[in-house]
Amino acid sequence: MDYIHLNELEFYGYHGVLPEETKLGQIFRVTITLACDLKKAGETDNLEETVNYAEVFELCKEIVEGKPYLLIEAVAEKIASRILEDYQAKVSGCRVQLVKPNPPIAGHYASVSVDITRGSL
C-alpha cells in the first residue's frame, strides 16, 4: 500500500462547546494520510492517476472553516467521510488527525487532538 500525507494543514474555525470558541474561533491543524495505489501515477507522471492533494486541501478547508461543530471528533469524522466518498475509486482508507492547539482549558499542555482511521490503512 502507498500513502499520500498532507501534514499540518492550518485553518481557522469556530468549533467547540464553549460560547467563546464559537464566537471568537481558533486555529486548527489537520494531518491527513490517504491509502492508495500510487504505482500507475509514478509510472505515467499523470495527475489523473493519483489523488490531487490540492483538492483534498480545499475539501478539508471547506469543512474546518465551514459549519461549526461542538466536537472536534465530528469535524474529523466529516473530513474522513467526505474523502472516502469523494475519492472512493482511488482511496481505500484515510487517517485524520485534528489538533486544537489552544482550547480554553486551564493548565499547561501543548494541544489536544483526535486521531481517527476509516477504511483500510
Task: Note the pLDDT tens digit of each residue in 41-91.
Answer: 999 999 999 999 999 999 999 999 999 999 999 999 999 999 999 999 999
Q: Is the pLDDT of residue 121 over 90?
A: no
Annotated catalytic, 100? yes
The rounded mean pLDDT for the chain is 96
Residue 8: phi, psi to the nearest 5?
50, 50
Please pick, among 23, 40, 78, 100, the residue that the annotation labels catalytic: 100
CATH topology of domain 2-119: GTP Cyclohydrolase I, domain 2 (3.30.1130)
Residue 7 one-letter amino acid:
N
pTM: 0.95
